[in-house]
Amino acid sequence: MPALKERAVAVGRKTYELSELLVDVLGVTNPAEQLGSYFPHTVTYHPSCHGMRLLKLGDRQAGLLRGVKGLELVDLPEADQCCGFGGTFSVKNADVSSAMLADKTANIRSTGASVCAGGDYSCLMHIGGGLSRQGDGVATLHLAEILASTEQEPARVQGPAGQTVKVVVK
């Protein structure tokens, strides 16, 4: 299978996670200037297990967030802890998953941020589901949505259940 391996390696070589593409390939170091990113909110950031441990993204995602105009990034306590989703884990071990999520959402609330950002939509779906049911009005947003938010076209921040939450851009 050496030929197949070669092809796999070739595809792998040009496959990037979004923040890798932006930072490493496209050289985005200042999203405010280079992309016009604007998001005037207090944001905390969940790094996600596979971004952190598998892809080893390091500071790429948080660095991009810090470069967004108007955005205040606050540290998430125990950020490296899993949110409890883990794909089918959340179905097979729903109670443990929910307990882990409770720790995660408590940490998010403790930051006082109005938005929890991340680079992994599965985690954000899980966390957003928890936050909306706790009625805290903390929204979840993908990194891409925040980077795409500009002064001309600001992101509409909505709760996971579709309800508009308190951080809607004024």
Partner 1 sequence: MSRTQLGMPGLRPGSGNLFAEEKFPSAARRELGNTQLRKNLKHATSTIRGKRLNVTGELPDWEELRDAGSALKTAVMARLPELLESFEANVTARGGVVHWARDADEANRIIHDLVKAEGVDEVVKVKSMATQEIGMNEYLEEHGIAAFETDLAELIVQLGHDKPSHILVPAIHKNRTEVRDIFLKEMPGVDPELTDEPRKLAMAARSHLRAKFLSAKVAISGANFGIADSGALAVVESEGNGRMCLTLPETLITVMGIEKILPTFSDLEVFLQLLPRSSTGERMNPTRRCGPASPKAMDPRSSTSSCWTTDAPTPSPTRWGARPCTASAAAPASTSARSMNAPAATPMVPPTPARSAPSSRRS
Q: Which spans of this chain sit near partner 1 (rule: CB under 8 A)?
A: 56, 78, 92-96, 99
Residue 42 or 93 having the CB closest to partner 1: 93
Report how far residue 167's alpha carbon sits from residue 145's, in angstroms, rounded to the nearest whole number: 14
Q: 62 with 93: CB under 8 angstroms?
A: no
Torsion of CA 65, 67, 68, 73, to 10 degrees: 50
* Minimum distance, C-beta of residue 81 to partner 1, in the bound complex (Å): 9
Taking the C-alpha atoms of residue 91 and residue 97, their distance in angstroms, rounded to an integer, is 8
Cβ proximity to partner 1, 5 vs 170, nearer residue = 5
Tokens 């884990």 found at: 89
Cβ 104 to partner 1 shortest distance, Å: 13
The least CB distance from residue 85 to partner 1, in Å, is: 16
Residues in the chain: 170
Min separation Cβ 94 and partner 1, Å: 7
Nearer to partner 1, 133 or 166 (CB): 133
